[in-house]
Chain A
Amino acid sequence: MRPPRGTTALQLDPLASISARGFLVVVAVVSMLVAIGVTLSTTDQISSWPLAVAALVVLAAGFGWFLRSAFRFDLGVSSDRFATAFALIAIATVLNSLSCLGTNIVVRDDWGLITLGLALMAAAPFRTHTELGTYVTVSSVVVLILVVLHALMSFRDTVIPVPVTVLVALAPILALGLGSVAYARSLLYGIYAERLEQADERDQQLDALRQAFVDDDVVGGIGGLRSDIVPFLGRVRQSGVLTEADRLRAAELAEGLQRALDTTAQQDSLGDHVSVLVDESALSVRLHEDDRATIRALLIALESSPHTEKGSIILELLEGESDRFGMVRCSSDDVRALRTDVLPFIRMTRLMFRTATEQVVGCELLVQFDIDRLG
């Protein structure tokens, strides 16, 4: 089954944004270094310094915008945001090319051809392969126009045939661009296949749990159903007559069953991960399962961080007349390091709860969230 149209890999797997952002940072740094390095090493080919400097500034702005979008918690690198970043990087490519118009010796010295391709490569996890395909086409057309312009203005005396120059100029953008399209498509299909597999696994787990519940005879174990109640009911039904002693026995068994039902209320395992659970309204067991899993993941992350002070994790779930909210507290000697450790899970909390904030108060990390829904 193919994934829904317009879906990006990061929409299916938000935690992969951690590696995608790291990759983008390196691409941005490499691109800037390549642009500055090539500009400085080919000064003899520059005919317009204002354009050369403007190209570097616009390139920095393009990657700056791209990075800013990638690190935003809300929208991320949306289609519009990437379009803006791409436009700025493409403009930088054009400015770089124009800055050596008439004095360009070889097309491979134009850094724009590389940075444009690198930007597409970095965009692969953030955008769809269809979008990237369009950007590759646009980039190829831009490069083609620039090469033809240089063939007319700069390479008139060269012995290299124009088709060769065109091929050399197009190769990086096509290689990196088509590589990014293949990456985005393959990653999306791979993650989607994994999602389907996980959905099947969950169904299987539910069936297995149901079978285990039946096999363990949990129902039969409540209130001595199997040992007392079933034989009693069987005997009364067989005889077809209710005696005074049966009435008393029925009352006794009813009382015992009621007691058993009251005491066998399901225990909440969320409390296993904290030192103190404050939950006077029994909100924990009423939370939506997705919200509970998010809180559980945050608590496990806090538990497993080496910077967490032992026995300091506190979960408070509070219910007022019109609102419900939760608070996770955790102490540490190095609370900043603790925050860094659990940051991906704080981000998940922000994704799951409509409002979620985190702050460092003294030596304590505090994550607070509103609870809008119940299970």
Chain B
Amino acid sequence: MTLQIAADVEGVATSRALSRAGTWLACVFLAATFAVATLFIPVTGRWDITLGLIGLLASGVGVVLALRAEVYWHALLFTLLACAGLYFFALVATEVSVQVPGPTPSSDYVLLSMPEFAVLVVGIPARSLAKSLSLGTIAFLAGPGLVQVAAWQQGMPLAVDVPVLASYVAVTLLVCSLWLGRREAARGTALMAGAALAEERDVALSRFHDRASTWLTENVLADLRALATAEPGELGLEHRQGIDRDLANLADVRLILDAPGVHGSATRKLAKVPVLLGAVRDGEQKGLHIRVTGDLSAVNALSTTVSRSLERALVECLDNVVQHSGVMEAEIAVMSSPPELSVMVSDAGVGFDLDQTTEQDVGLRMIVVDNIVEIGGTVQIWSRPGAGTAVFVTVPGGYS
């Protein structure tokens, strides 16, 4: 988890996501208003509604640009553009509503409320609470505020638009809660990221140190001891080769550090393959050392159902290694051969005789096998006493 944790420390991803959400929200409300206003053109015979629609489009452009703006004053300018467009639309819409025969609606009617909702969201992606609240408030005052002015100018009965007012309060509350939560989360993630980096440094240095110590003990120290106990005289071939090897490696210690095992836990390379991460972490928590190889990214292309079944099967396989193999090392190899993906879990443990073992004794719970078969996959087991075990799971899907 920790070393694999991805955290939106700077809030960039959240801000961008809020911008996208706001864009969709605003566009739907504006599109609905556009459609309703367009429907009223043939009903009322007032083609000047088209001018109002241009104002509505300008409002939409302003909202979208304000939501995407990265600089505060750009967002402010676009917000004002959106409000001006809304005002122009409201002038036309209220004039038509007052003029057409029948009961005259008041200034809180739905054709005006919907674009007002759209304008209210301009502040949500801002990168600080103050900017977010100030943009939202300016949008509220200049958007719905100017709509009321337009209604007054056209002689429409004025009314407080309770849903719009309530929406402003709700958006303010939601933005505040999001920001407070984000602040707390950012503190946590920054701390976690710092701890993970410190850990990385410790682990790497520890491994380098261990590797160097082991090499020195097995080579230089052993050679010195051999020289100390050797008979004086001409150096033997073995001694000459040993000294040559020591001097070469001491001249370039990178060779010593490139040994296997220096790169740490298997979960590290699985940062990009969360589906395997759970199974491997579970295995490691049980004490297993797991080596993961093959086309790992192909696993990401599996469907949700197949991924879940595969993960369950892998957890079960690794559990079997812990319980029955007698060794604490296992290997997971991923092989992609579209339209199928195969994963082999193997160990070099005690193994067993398949012919003398019932399905129940195999240990791999039949429910797991059934699960794989149900999704169109297969499970094959190879094992021999003393020669380890390999479970070959094939599932549909995956790409390289």
Contacts and interface: CB of A to CB of B under 8 A. Distances in A.
Interface of A: 1-7, 11-16, 18-23, 25-27, 30, 34, 37, 41, 106, 108, 121, 124, 128, 159, 161, 163-164, 167-168, 170-171, 174-176, 178-187, 190-196, 198-199, 202, 205-206, 209-210, 213-214, 217-220, 222-223, 225-226, 229-230, 233-234, 236-237, 240-244, 246-248, 250-251, 253-254, 257-258, 261, 264, 266, 268-269, 285, 288-290, 292-294, 296-297, 300-301, 304, 344-345, 348, 351-352, 354, 372-375
A220 B234 CA distance: 28
Contacts of A27: 174
A242 B243 contact: no
A2 B300 CA distance: 8
Nearest to B29: A175
A18 B163 contact: no
5 contacts: A182-B20, A187-B8, A195-B272, A219-B253, A372-B287
Contacts of A257: 216, 220-221, 224
Given A222-B216, A247-B232, 5 more contacts: A6-B308, A205-B200, A247-B228, A254-B228, A294-B195
B189 interface: yes
B235 A180 contact: no
Which of A202, A304, A354 is most buried by chain B, counting CB atoms within 10 A of its CB? A202
B99 to A, nearest CB: 16
A247 B257 CA distance: 30
Contact of B240 (A7, A20, A240, A344): A240
Q: Is the interface of A mostly helix, strand, loop or mixed?
A: helix
A247 B230 CA distance: 7
Interface of B: 1-8, 12-14, 16-26, 28-29, 32, 35-36, 39, 43, 102, 110, 113-114, 117, 162-163, 166, 170, 173-174, 176-178, 180-182, 184-185, 188-189, 191-206, 208-210, 212-213, 216-217, 220-221, 223-225, 227-235, 239-240, 243-244, 246-247, 250, 253-254, 256-257, 263-265, 267-268, 271-275, 281, 284-287, 297, 299-304, 307-308
Given A214-B254, A300-B194, A20 B209 contact: no
A187 B284 contact: no
B181 A187 contact: no
B247 A233 contact: yes
A218 B208 contact: yes
A167 B157 CA distance: 24
A13 B2 CA distance: 10
A258 to B, nearest CB: 6
A292 B199 contact: yes
Nearest to B199: A293
A297 to B, nearest CB: 4
Contacts of A206: 200, 204, 263
Among B188, B263, B287, chain A packs the most CB atoms within 10 A around the CB of B188
Contacts of B246: 233
Contacts of B263: 206
Contacts of B16: 186, 190
Contact of A12 (B239, B250, B274): B274
B28 A269 contact: no
A140 to B, nearest CB: 11
Contacts of A247: 227-230, 232
Given A167-B35, A293-B3, A301-B191, A229 B224 contact: yes
A305 to B, nearest CB: 11
Contact of B177 (A13, A25, A241): A25
A289 B3 contact: yes
Contact of A30 (B12, B174, B191): B174
B225 A254 contact: yes
Which among B13, B16, B36, B163 has the greatest number of chain A C-beta atoms within 10 A?
A: B13
B174 A23 contact: yes
Contact of B200 (A174, A202, A213): A202
Contact of B1 (A14, A175, A218, A240): A14
Contacts of B254: 210, 214
B147 to A, nearest CB: 16
A106 B110 CA distance: 10
Contacts of B264: 289
A162 to B, nearest CB: 11
Contacts of B228: 247-248, 250-251, 254
A113 to B, nearest CB: 11
Contacts of B267: 290
A258 B225 CA distance: 11
Nearest to B185: A18
B6 A23 contact: no
Contacts of A26: 173-174, 176-177
Contacts of B36: 164, 167-168
Contact of B188 (A5, A205, A345): A345
A250 B32 contact: no
Contact of B39 (A163, A213, A294, A354): A163
B253 A220 contact: yes
Contacts of B197: 205
Contacts of B189: 13, 15
Contacts of A187: 8, 13-14, 17
Contacts of B217: 261
B351 to A, nearest CB: 24
A331 to B, nearest CB: 21
B110 A168 contact: yes
A6 B303 contact: yes
B20 to A, nearest CB: 4
A269 B267 CA distance: 22
Instruction: Please provide the 6 A-B residue pairs with the shortest distance between their CB atoms, ordered closest to farther.
Output: A190-B13, A19-B181, A6-B304, A195-B6, A22-B181, A251-B228
A161 B18 contact: no
Contact of B8 (A16, A106, A167): A16
Given A18-B188, A23-B178, A300-B195, A6 B166 contact: no
Nearest to B249: A219
B240 A293 contact: no
Contacts of B196: 293, 297
